[in-house]
Amino acid sequence: MKKVLFVATVVKTHIMEFHIPYLKMFKEMGWETAVAARNDYENPADCVIPYCDTYYDIPFERNPLKSGNLKAYKELKKVIDDGGYDIIHCHTPVGAMLTRLAAKQARKSGTKVFYTAHGFHFYKGAPAINWLLYYPVEKWLSRYTDVLITINKEDYERAKTFKAGKVCYVPGVGIDLKKFNVGYVDKEQKRKEIGVTADDFVLLSVGELIPRKNHEVVIRSMAVLKQNRKLDHIEYVLCGRGAYEADLKKLAGKLNVADHIQFLGYRNDISEICNCADLFVFMSHQEGLPVALMEAMACGLPIVCSNIRGNTDLIEDGVTGLISNNTPEELAESINAMRNDNALRDRLACAALQKIKQFDLSSVEDEMVKIYGGRVSNLVLQGRL
């Protein structure tokens, strides 16, 4: 029986979010599947991975300089050396770094190592420290990579200069567009549940509450709107959790806009919340190809986003959304423009809905089958999927 191993730093916020369709694909083709990642559930017993035959709880640290990664490397190397895997597909910077080091011997025995870069930490405009730390490491490790997969055009062009056996571009991990056709949503009831009213103009952001996601600029833009007497009946709904939550709440209080912000924490009903919001605001400093933005597009929400790699693979300014500089003043202008122009919102949302079709999960799965090649492709052609 053929065997595949998926590796990422964490289970809940990576494996479960992005890779279940691919575990399912391999299982339905008759492969034995395994996952190696840290159990990041609050209750460890909640860690149940669908379509996974064997799970290895590897104590990865997100910070590549943490000494705990030495233990993670040793445990992962044993898993790989003993596993006899035909394919290892690794993700996330630390998980992928340790996997490619641990799999050097396995590659000599025929194991193929695939690495999906979900957004290099070095990019146009990135801090110099990112280039000094991550660029040389990724370039060096590429020689231990049979296939390097990128999910945005900037990363693809840069990866082509590396030493990987093959470099490919795919449009993200794919999103299941059918999932966002949720049918009838009682908009008024849903709004009441999340703390807003039928008359409010609802801004929505989805993402971890960390500095990189830059929810701060949205809160500051609301202060600008308030100063200009344009904040009445505007509510900001924020879905996500993270270490920056207390800081964001403190900032909202300091700027006297806390009564216009709903912190909802981690949610399992994002598509329903999207369907009762008016505008999706995504001002992140850094992304690979943002799934949250793709999901909002799939729900037919108009978009305002920052001018960064990944966002610009999805949004064309004035065509499929509005791109704003990361200043409170310009973002406030964009929000106000969207609020006051129903026709603009409808036009941009319709164009975005058409654009996102090329990122559908079925299309991306087809691309991944071609990239995996060999035995995988043969089984698909024989109708095993």
Q: pLDDT confidence of 64, banded at 50, 70, 90?
A: confident
With 0-12 / 13-18 / 19 or more C-beta atoms within 10 angstroms meaning exposed / middle / buried, residue 259 is exposed
On the question of pLDDT at 382 being above 70, the answer is: no
Q: Which residues, in sequence order, are bridge partners of residue 87?
A: 4, 112
C-alpha count within 13 angstroms, C-beta hemisphere, residue 63: 4
> So what's the pLDDT on residue 270?
92
Q: What is the pTM of this model?
A: 0.85
**Strands (E) located in 187-242:** 201-206, 234-239
pLDDT of 374 = 61
Torsions phi, psi for 54 (to 5 deg): -135, 130
Query: Which tokens go with 324?
Result: 């704003």
pLDDT in tens, 246-282: 999 999 999 999 999 999 999 989 999 999 999 999 9
First to last CA, the chain: 17
Cβ within 8 Å of residue 146, ≥6 positions away: 107, 112, 113, 114, 164, 165, 166
pLDDT above 90 (res 111)? yes
pLDDT at 128 over 50: yes
Which pLDDT value is given to residue 214?
Answer: 97
Check if the beta carbon of residue 120 is closer than 8 Å to that of residue 96: no
Pair of tokens at residue 266: 């981690």
pLDDT tens-digit map of 194-224: 999 999 999 999 999 999 999 999 999 999 9
Taking the CA atoms of 55, 57, 62 and 63 in sequence, report the sign of the dihedral they define. Answer: negative
**Torsion 99-100-105-111 (CA) sign:** positive
pLDDT, the chain, mean: 93
User: pLDDT for 271-322, tens place per residue?
Assistant: 999 999 999 999 999 999 999 999 999 999 999 999 999 999 999 999 999 9
What pLDDT sits at residue 184?
A: 75
Residue 376's pLDDT band (boundaries 50, 70, 90)? low
Q: How confident is the model at residue 182 (pLDDT cuts 50, 70, 90)?
A: low
Q: Which of 143-152, 186-195, 368-377 has the lowest mean pLDDT?
A: 368-377
Contacts of 169 (CB under 8 A, 6+ apart): 149, 150, 151, 153, 156
**Would the pLDDT of 385 be above 60?**
no
Q: What is the mean pLDDT of residues 229-239?
A: 97
Mean pLDDT of 19-25: 95
Asked if residue 9 lies in contact with residue 19, where contact means CB atoms within 8 angstroms, the answer is: no
Spatial separation of the C-alpha atoms in residues 82 and 54, rounded to whole Å: 13
H or E element: which one contains 348? helix 342-355
SS3 state of residue 233:
coil
